Copies of this chain bind each other. A is one copy, B any other.
Amino acid sequence: MVLEKSLPMTAGDSECSYANNSILQRTVIVKAKPVLEDTVKNMFKNGDFPKCFTMADLGCSSGPNTLLSISNVIDMVHNLYKEKNKSDEPPEFQVYLNDLPDNDFNSVFKSIPYFLENLKKEKGDKFGNNCYIAGVPGSFYERLFPSNSLNFVHSSYSLHWLSQVPKGLESNKGSIFISKSSPPQVLEAYLKQFEKDFSSFLHFRSQELISGGHMVLVYVGRSSPDPKNYDSCCLMDLLTKSLVHLTAEGKIKEDEIDSFNMPSYTPYEEEIKKIIQMEGSFTLERLEAFESDMAAIENPNGKHFEDSAKLAVKTIRAVTEVMLASHFGTSIIDNLFEIYIKYVTEYLSMGSTIKFFNISLCLQKI
């Protein structure tokens, strides 16, 4: 498990922490809400509520988004329960928040008493008093829960992270991800790793979900079948450019860039569908695609290019800093991200946008 040691988001609540720089991820949760809503409605369409509704949020991270999806699901179930006007006891909730063991669970756990207190206030004692939250440290590319124990799995903006940097990227020189200059074997290595990881994910979740259980998964994906044309590629290209800038200044070595590759992949719709079909445990109930313009989210008037760039770079920094620092050393980090801001500002001022292409799925266990 390479990632268990190398890929936490930036912890704590400092200026550069993930907690303070996850507005993009929040927007995506909000935009993907209709799929979540339809899935929850579908689960309870017969008006049968389980005694205990057991759900897991995989890749929960820490910060203001951590309890957002959970809270949305509880709201939805509460509304449906009220609609059905049941005289039975309301369902209990067992909520599992999962992330890698390095995640800042302490900060998540400190917020739980207030979350539960508010739930009680909002929903009343009968409904709001029955929510039990646990943290589960571990990789979602391994087993995390007992067999047939989950009703529902949710994961947002996590599954584009691979379990490790793919093997066989030696020829990806001068790039830190898939770029226009990456040779075919690099593209193949990335796709192979994604196929292996997503298949494992589906396999393990199918063991943990009850028969008929649902999953809602939200990805950063790509709108083009060509892996070199992913929508947010400008961001990785500009990060590479910033690293190359530092080699020119003698601060890092060229072969350090050659040997660094991002452990992530932005899949195309058809790639996802194919893996689901091959693995065979789930039916794909729904697939939606939607775009987010990062700069527009963060700076809606769209004129202050440097402000937009700063916010975009902070978002990327929060999810890559630990990784970059462990490869290139911590001393270059501030410098690197200053240069990165300049390049992103320049890019935005030419009228370009920073688009993310998102894919949300609803799956049902066969």
Contacts and interface: CB of A to CB of B under 8 A. Distances in A.
Interface of A: 1, 4, 51-52, 92-94, 96, 101-106, 109-110, 112-113, 129-130, 132-138, 143-147, 149
A134 B95 CA distance: 11
B105 A132 contact: no
A105 B147 contact: no
Nearest to A89: B147
A105 B52 contact: no
B101 A52 contact: no
A1 B120 CA distance: 15
Oligomeric state, in copies: 2
A152 B87 CA distance: 32
17 contacts: A4-B113, A51-B146, A92-B146, A92-B147, A94-B149, A101-B112, A102-B110, A105-B106, A105-B135, A106-B106, A110-B137, A113-B138, A132-B143, A133-B136, A134-B135, A135-B135, A135-B136
Contacts of A138: 112-113
Contact of A101 (B92, B101, B110, B137): B110
Contact of A137 (B1, B135, B146): B135
A149 B52 contact: yes
A96 B135 contact: no
A146 B105 contact: no
Contacts of A52: 146-147, 149
Nearest to A102: B110
Given A94-B146, A103-B109, 12 more contacts: A1-B113, A51-B147, A96-B134, A105-B105, A105-B106, A109-B135, A112-B137, A132-B136, A134-B135, A134-B136, A135-B135, A135-B137
